[in-house]
Amino acid sequence: MNKLQPVRGTKDLLPENFKIHQYIINVAQMIGELYGYSAMSTPIIEYAQVFDRTLGQTSDVISKEMYSFLDKSNETIALRPEFTAGIMRSIIHGSLLHNLPVKFFSYGPLFRYDRPQAGRQRQFHQVNFEYIGASGAYSDAETIKLAFDLLVALEISDQVTLEINSLGCHESRLMYEKKLFEYFNDHKNQLSADSVVRLGKNPMRILDSKDENDRLIINNAPVIAEYYTDFSKQYFSEVLAYLNLLKVSYRINNRLVRGLDYYSHTAFEYTTTALGAQSTVLAGGRYDGLAKLMQGPDIPAIGFAAGIERIALIKNYMIPAIRPVFILPISENNINISMILADKLRQNDVNIMLDAQGKINKRIQRAVSRNARYVIFIGDEEQERSIYKLKDLDTTQESILQFEQLMAILKYN
């Protein structure tokens, strides 16, 4: 096998794709700033316990997908499969507990060992928003509105649907899990081997099964809405009322759940039909129990993440390219003066490509292929007279200019 190629499930971000990724990140950060989010970053590697403890041994992420390894100190290290646990770890063990609530924006690569397909890679990228220390239904609605504003700004809001559900409070979940266990236990002989394991540890995890036969059984399973406490019903009603106030359309999906114990109340996803099997573009929810699970204090929180690759598959973004100016010294004698000119123009924010290699016609062709607007020729005569020959590649017009005249043209094009 040829090892001089990307690892399966990873891709090089070549310039055109990199520009699109950077555009999505910049839009997300800009929208986040309107809501008071500050950018922060956590390491790509963490002690595996950060995720083992929070995601649980029965989750697919831990049992099948997480990249983990022993380092030279014999510590088990993991490549991060998601952002939230690392950010909460940073807050608990940093100096931010006295500054709550905080709003953090993050972006970057994540890693999961999964079967690659369109919209799903082993190294993928997300933008991520966490509102930590936030309680009350208004903060849920505000977070969902932030997600909607992001999708509007990225011009894909007409291709996604907001699906929302409530996971209820702790008491609701206990009642629901009991009924769920009873239901799945009655169908234990038909469940997949993975789901049988989950049944004994966390029956809600079965609801995430991708096994086709499991899905048929899940279709008739109890729904959590049947077990809401009065408080859970009231909380969900308030969230929906705020969404109505903000004119955010939604569809209640009673099957939308989170199998992790620290989630409560609001769970939501923006889904699309444009990506085949990978329908989720953005997903989030309230995770009030996470900090305590990580041996921290009780900290209410809500957040979401959106997949950059999936967004880029939905919308064909045309990012305007900066058109460079090419400087072409005619001979080696003109390279020094060309370098000085290139430096002066760059100091004035002009995008410059200095090309001194090969025949002049080949260099002009390279300038055209890079979509240059102008070419500056510097030969012996130009060097002696301190003038510059400028060619407009759009009009083919040529001009002989002093530096101030040259600067006046390039600065505003």
222-264 pLDDT, tens per residue? Answer: 999 999 999 999 999 999 999 999 999 999 999 898 877 788 9
292 to each of 82, 270, 309, how far by Cα in Å?
A: 18, 28, 33
Q: In this structure, which topology does domain 15-169+229-314 adopt according to CATH? A: BirA Bifunctional Protein; domain 2 (3.30.930)
CA distance 258 to 70: 30
The CATH 3.40.50.800 portion of the chain extends over 325-410
Strand partners, 131: 103, 302
Give the pLDDT score at 52. 83
User: Alpha helix locations (H) across 226-274?
Assistant: 230-245
Q: Which one, of 133, 135, 157, 138, lies nearest residue 147 by Cα?
A: 157
Between residues 363 and 209, the one the model is more confident about: 363
Q: Does residue 134 carry a pLDDT above 80?
A: yes
Task: Name the CATH architecture for the domain at 325-410.
Answer: 3-Layer(aba) Sandwich (3.40)
Residues 6+ apart with CB under 8 A from 178: none
Strand partners, 68: 78
Exposed (0-12), middle (13-18) or buried (19+): which is 286, by Cβ within 10 Å? buried
The CATH 3.30.930.10 portion of the chain extends over 15-169+229-314
Buried b (16+ CB within 10 A) or exposed e, 339-356: eebbeebeeeebebbbbe
Q: Which one, of 99, 94, 102, lies nearest residue 43 by Cα?
A: 94
378-400, pLDDT tens digit by residue?
999 999 999 999 999 999 999 99
- Does the model's pTM come out above 0.75? yes
Question: Where does 146-265 show beta strands of DSSP type E?
Answer: 161-166, 251-252
Q: Does residue 328 carry a pLDDT above 80?
A: yes
Q: Which one, of 279, 390, 343, 320, lies nearest residue 23 by Cα?
A: 320
Count the Cβ atoms, other than its own, within 10 Å of residue 295. 9
Q: Does residue 105 carry a pLDDT above 90?
A: yes
76-79 sheet: strands from edge to edge: 45-47, 76-79, 68-70
Give the pLDDT score at 1. 58
Contact 116, 8 (CB under 8 A): yes
Between residues 65 and 346, the one the model is more confident about: 346
Band of pLDDT at residue 210, cut at 50, 70 and 90: confident
